[in-house]
Amino acid sequence: MRRFEKKVVFVSGGSAGIGRTTVKRFAAEGAIAVFCARGGEAVAAVEAEIRDAGGIGEGLVVDISDHDSYVAAIEGTAAKHGRLDVFVHNAAYLRQGALADVELKIWQRHFRINTESCFAANTAAVKIMKAQGGGSIINIASIATARTVPMHGAYAAAKNAMVSMSKYLAVENARYNVRVNVAAPGMIDTESLRWSFGHDDAAAAAVEERIPMGRFGNTDEMASAILFFASDEASYITGQYLLVDGGKGDQLIV
């Protein structure tokens, strides 16, 4: 199935984890898959993987906390390829800590990367998509926007602001056929998840057992939700928030 044949897609945070899988999935379905990340070697590696699989991938080295550079990458992609069909804001920043102990500069960094970067990129993408007659934006949130996850207060606050912003953009731009949706991952098995457990397999296993489905999700499962929102199959869906979490967000007992 090639739902994105010749579609122009831009994914931030595309060199690892959910972003990496998502970029490769878009390319496998025929998209011109443009992505950005901070590390040049990781960007080149993903480009090579896409090329070796017969797809089209273009990697850019961009730090999304530099809003001007982030917007320039998005606008440059649309200018180069003549349009922007799908935009996925995936890159994020998380530093764990009890909320009362979080320094103001760390609080502000959470908002700069998770909220303000998303705002800058989304508004740039909306303007491009309005002018061309439509498009799809998917912003990646977190289960921390549905549950109170210990030591994630600053991150959750910033991501919740992003969720609210997404809904406003969806309603305000629906008449222009610009769709904006949010996909929120639960415990998806990535390097960053393993890092959050200090690479302690026993600790990870204890959490995994408490997920209703009894396991962590994988990046393909998360990418499937993102690609659905981006596809014509979701043409009448906008302003929605989807947890991809194995049932954890609806579970009473932690």
Q: Which tokens hold the place of 112?
A: 């700069």
pLDDT at 251: 82
* Cβ atoms 29, 3 nearer than 8 A: yes
Secondary structure of 76-129 in the HEC alphabet?
HHHHHHCCCCEEEECCCCCCCECHHHCCHHHHHHHHHHHHHHHHHHHHHHHHHH
Residue 193 in any domain: the answer is: no
Q: Which of 70, 93, 155, 236 is catalytic?
A: 155
Tally the domains of the chain: 1
> Would 126 be classed as within a structural domain?
yes
The verdict on residue 42 lying in a domain is: yes
Q: What is the pLDDT of residue 246?
A: 94
| Residue pair 166/125 in contact by the 8 Å Cβ criterion | no
Do residues 159 and 145 lie in contact, with contact meaning Cβ atoms separated by under 8 Å?
yes
Predicted structure pTM score:
0.95
3-state helix, strand, coil in the chain (%, to 5): 50, 15, 30
Any domain includes 199 = no
> Which is nearest to 64 in space by CA: 74, 79, 52?
74
Residue 135 neighbours by CB distance under 10 Å: 26
CATH of the domain at 229: 3.40.50.720
**Cα atoms in the Cβ-side hemisphere of radius 13 Å centred on 181:** 23
Could you please report the per-residue DSSP string of 133-160? T-EEEEEE--GGGTS--TTBHHHHHHHH
Q: Which domain holds residue 43?
A: 8-188+219-243
Asked if residue 63 is part of any domain, the answer here is yes
pLDDT confidence of residue 170: 98
In a domain, 208, yes or no: no
Residues 6+ apart with CB under 8 A from 116: 67
* 155 is annotated as an active-site residue: yes
Whether residue 252 lies inside any domain: the answer is no
Q: Give average pLDDT by consecutive 10-residue segment, the chain, 254 residues.
A: 95 97 98 97 97 98 97 98 98 93 97 97 98 98 92 96 98 98 94 77 88 95 98 98 94 64
- Tell me, yes or no, whether 205 lies in a domain: no
